[in-house]
């Protein structure tokens, strides 16, 4: 436990921020898993329809400074690449997300 007043305040702030950001982090993880599940299961129509939603959630997390801009770009790129490979190579393309 912190002893200095400023450290106590910093701890309170970090707890509040953590509570505020947790739902967005969880949503990001859920959306990424859902999108990859669509792709690996061969549900390409649903994956294509869900792609804007996934990109939107990634952008929202970027805007809230939950992830770095390069990380956001990397996530988007990998989702797009996975979908592209699945569409070209058949229903079950092995892609690492």
Q: What is the pLDDT of residue 96?
A: 57
**Domain locations in the chain?**
23-89
How far apart CA 66 and CA 58 sit, in angstroms, is 9
Q: How confident is the model at residue 97 (pLDDT cuts 50, 70, 90)?
A: low
Cβ-contact 11, 3 below 8 angstroms: no
CATH of domain 23-89: 1.20.58.110
Q: What is the pLDDT of residue 92?
A: 54
Q: How confident is the model at residue 89 (pLDDT cuts 50, 70, 90)?
A: confident
Q: What is the pLDDT of residue 94?
A: 56
The percentage of the chain sitting over the pLDDT mark of 70, rounded to a whole number, equals: 92
Q: Judge residue 94's burial from the number of C-beta atoms within 10 Å of its C-beta, 0-12 exposed, 13-18 middle, 19 or more buried.
A: exposed
How does pLDDT run across 7-37, given as a tens digit for each residue? 999 999 999 999 999 999 999 999 999 999 9
């Amino acid at each position: 436990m912190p002893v200095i007043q400023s450290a106590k305040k910093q701890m309170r702030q970090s707890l509040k921020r953590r509570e505020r950001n947790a739902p967005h982090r969880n949503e990001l993880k859920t959306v990424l898993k859902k999108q990859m599940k669509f792709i690996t299961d061969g549900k390409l129509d649903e994956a294509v329809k869900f792609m804007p939603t996934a990109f939107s959630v990634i952008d929202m997390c970027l805007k809230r400074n939950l992830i770095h801009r390069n990380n956001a770009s990397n996530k988007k790129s990998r989702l797009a690449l996975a979908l592209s490979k699945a569409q070209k190579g058949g229903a079950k393309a092995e892609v690492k997300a």
